[in-house]
Amino acid sequence: MSLISIFFILFFYISALIFILGVSYKLVQYWNTPAPLKIPIAPSALDTKGVILRFIREIFLFSSLFKANKWTWLFGWSFHLALVLLFFRHLVYFWPGEVPLILYKTEPFKYAAYPLIFGLTGLLSRRIFVDRVRYISSPSDYLMLLVLIFIASTGMVMTFANHHPNLLMVKNFAEGLITLNWSELPREFIFLAHIFPVFCLISIFPISKLLHAPGIFFSPTFNQVDNARKKRHISDWASKNEDGLKIDLENNNEEVK
């Protein structure tokens, strides 16, 4: 096996390990972070069913972003929808063994590359030309968008510009990463340029703003029920402190007696 194939195989597993450990650590951190106040964004749900419905609207329709800014919603929703479609399109390569027929039906999903580029270009333009957004943008915000545009562009070149790598080699390489039955990867530069930044994004996912994907489920502004008028809200952290304070007061009272 060539050195470049060994490099990309090791790079993938290192990136995947960093991704799993990093995301797991952040999720545990989010789970253990106390929420001492009721801070749901109004209008908010009054029961658990309402919270679930709100999450569904937010995750699939970006409802709060739609209310805030229609252009930002259009760019963001186009980008995320296209990303999901292209994810299922790429499953054909990673699926071990015989590929289910339904995955072959995802061939038209390759055209999702166009709304992907449209959304990313719009989000980048927003950070460049809108003063208030440019003011709060950091270099990493631009870098993430540029890397995603580069990944999408190289994918479009391979798909629509007759620069196809050997698809059988692509399938064997991608499937081998899952089954540990490693094989050579295609040597075409455009393919290497496409997967290298993908592996980079996987590795930096836990320390980037991309972490908003799982993080939204831990946002108290979305996951809290607006029942502060009916039920007292107290976090585990505050409850433990309150119990400890009660014990201290009881001990002090006994000492006084």
pLDDT score for 19: 96
Nearest to 140 by CA among 84, 201, 60, 225: 201
pLDDT score for 243: 56
Average pLDDT over residues 170-177: 93
Nearest to 118 by CA among 82, 155, 69, 161: 82
User: Domain range holding 252?
Assistant: 3-256
Burial tier of 154 (Cβ tally within 10 Å: 0-12, 13-18, 19+) = buried
The chain-wide mean pLDDT, for the chain, equals 88
The answer to whether residue 240 scores a pLDDT higher than 70 is: no
41-55, 109-123, 134-148: the lowest-pLDDT one: 41-55
pLDDT score for 182: 93
Nearest to 106 by CA among 89, 92, 123: 89
The string over 116-145, giving b where at least 16 C-beta atoms fall within 10 Å of a residue's C-beta and e elsewhere, is bbbbbebbbebeeeeeebeeeeeeebeebb
- Read off the CATH number of the domain in which 76 is found: 1.20.950.20
Number of domain units in the chain = 1
- Where do the DSSP E strands lie in 112-165? none
pLDDT score for 254: 46
The string over 68-95, giving b where at least 16 C-beta atoms fall within 10 Å of a residue's C-beta and e elsewhere, is eeeebbbbbbbbbbbbebbeebbebbbe
Q: What tens digit of pLDDT does each residue of 85-123 get?
A: 999 999 999 999 888 889 889 999 999 999 999 999 999
38-42, 160-164, 229-233: the lowest-pLDDT one: 229-233
CA distance 218 to 210: 15
Q: What tens digit of pLDDT does each residue of 54-63 get?
A: 999 999 999 9
- Three-state DSSP at 197 gives helix
92-96, 173-177, 244-248: the lowest-pLDDT one: 244-248
CA separation, residue 187 to residues 3, 11, 167, 171 (Å): 11, 16, 12, 14
